[in-house]
Amino acid sequence: MTIVFKISNNLKKEIIEHYKDTAKVNKPPYSVFQSEDCGTVVTLYESGKIMFQGIGADIDYSLWRDREKFLNNRDIDKELKQKELKDNKKKEEHNDKTYKYVSTVGSDEVGTGDYFGPIVVTASYVSEENISKIEALGVRDSKKITDEKIREIAPQLSKLVPFVSYTLSPLEYNNTGITNMNKVKAILHNKVLVNLLKKDSFDYKYIVVDQFALIPKYFEHIKDIPEKVTNISFTTHAEDKCLSVAVSSIISRYIFLTEMDKMSEKYNMTIPKGAGANVDEQAREFVKKYGFNELQKAVKLNFKNTLKINEK
């Protein structure tokens, strides 16, 4: 892992003092100092940029990110995110076809913006040989395909490609105690990727995930998980650029729709998608019929919808 940002002048002396016991005698060209400890290298350059590399890079980065916030009111995470988005935009302009015609592993999730229902994450493998067959089915981002079309092509895709899906029920989601949705997504993406790659020795060129967080943040979210997939290419709008991500999007959506159908049948009412005002109204009807205790088995309680329902 490598993280780089420009440190404020009033922190330079503090950084040098902090790392003085592990400072290296021979430092790289154009650097002020370099420290190495427990597999993590910290380098401060004459330009004012500081670079954290190695297994503990995110830990050291977090320390100085917090000092920047405290002393200088800088939001380094936000600055890095903006820079990353700008860099990605430049890359996208030149590399839109990078993942299109090669074998890839890709993962995508559905349900993270829906008050009712589960979160479904799928990882799939699309070989170069299967690309034309999959494209012939009309595969693209599930958000751009009707639910009827998804119900039609998802069963065919599941026979064409190796995949692993995981469904996190609303009750399981509520019991995790995790309120950061990006952390939930990172954990589940890692889970399905690990399990897919265990199935076979796939010959792929890239593992692609749609970028939903800063890359260091993604790995920070999964740092305590023993098994990790780390050789990931993160890119925005991945469903449009990478066939395996689009396939995973469709399979995830199909499973999500099936689960919503089951819920509608179980509770004898139409379970709505999304998190808008119509969802609030239906949720109030749900509570009148089945009570609040049953609601926690059907919705993600940390959504703002719950507060609106309680107010009523």
- Determine the pLDDT at residue 38: 86
For residues 130 and 242, membership in a common domain is answered with yes
Domain count, the chain: 2
Radius of gyration, alpha carbons of the chain:
23
Joined tokens for residue 165: 């899906």
Domain boundary among 220, 238, 261: 261
What phi and psi values does residue 47 have, to the nearest 5 degrees? Answer: -70, -10
For residues 39 and 129, membership in a common domain is answered with no
> Taking 60 as the threshold, does the pLDDT of residue 93 lie above it?
no
Decide the pairing of beta strands 233-235 and 206-210.
parallel
Three-state SS annotation for the chain: CEEEEECCHHHHHHHHHHCHHHECCCCCCCEEEEEEECCEEEEEECCCEEEEEECCHHHHHHHHHHHHHHHHCCCHHHHHHHHHHHHHHHHHHHHCCCCCCCCEEEEEEECCCCCECCEEEEEEEECHHHHHHHHHCCCCCHHHCCHHHHHHHHHHHHHHCCEEEEEECHHHHHHHCCCCHHHHHHHHHHHHHHHHHHHCCCCCCEEEEECCCCHHHHHHHCCCCCCCCCCCEEECCHHHHCHHHHHHHHHHHHHHHHHHHHHHHHHCCCCCCCCCHHHHHHHHHHHHHHCHHHHCCCECCCCHHHHHHHHC
How many other CB atoms are found less than 10 A from the CB of residue 24? 14
For residues 242 and 127, membership in a common domain is answered with yes
Query: Residue 14 is part of which domain span?
Result: 2-74
Kindly state whether residue 229 falls inside one of the protein's structural domains. Answer: yes
For residues 123 and 249, membership in a common domain is answered with yes
- Determine the pLDDT at residue 291: 92
Kindly state whether residue 119 falls inside one of the protein's structural domains. Answer: yes
Mean pLDDT of the chain: 92
pLDDT tens-digit series, residues 123-162? 999 999 999 999 888 886 557 788 999 999 999 999 999 9
What CATH number does residue 173 fall under? 3.30.420.10
Kindly state whether residue 196 falls inside one of the protein's structural domains. Answer: yes
For residues 181 and 251, membership in a common domain is answered with yes
For residues 252 and 214, membership in a common domain is answered with yes
For residues 29 and 127, membership in a common domain is answered with no
Residue pair 242/232 in contact (Cβ under 8 Å)? The answer is no
pLDDT tens-digit series, residues 235-244? 988 998 899 9
For residues 242 and 177, membership in a common domain is answered with yes
For residues 176 and 242, membership in a common domain is answered with yes
Q: Which pLDDT band, with edges at 50, 70 and 90, does 16 fall under? A: very high
Kindly state whether residue 10 falls inside one of the protein's structural domains. Answer: yes
Joined tokens for residue 59: 């830990």
Kindly state whether residue 267 falls inside one of the protein's structural domains. Answer: no
For residues 123 and 245, membership in a common domain is answered with yes
pLDDT tens-digit series, residues 182-219? 999 999 999 999 999 999 999 999 999 999 999 999 99
How many other CB atoms are found less than 10 A from the CB of residue 200? 9
Kindly state whether residue 237 falls inside one of the protein's structural domains. Answer: yes
Kindly state whether residue 270 falls inside one of the protein's structural domains. Answer: no
For residues 160 and 64, membership in a common domain is answered with no
What CATH number does residue 28 fall under? 3.30.310.10
Kindly state whether residue 187 falls inside one of the protein's structural domains. Answer: yes
| Closest among 154, 159, 133 to 249, alpha carbons compared | 154
pLDDT tens-digit series, residues 19-55? 999 999 998 999 999 999 888 999 999 999 999 999 8
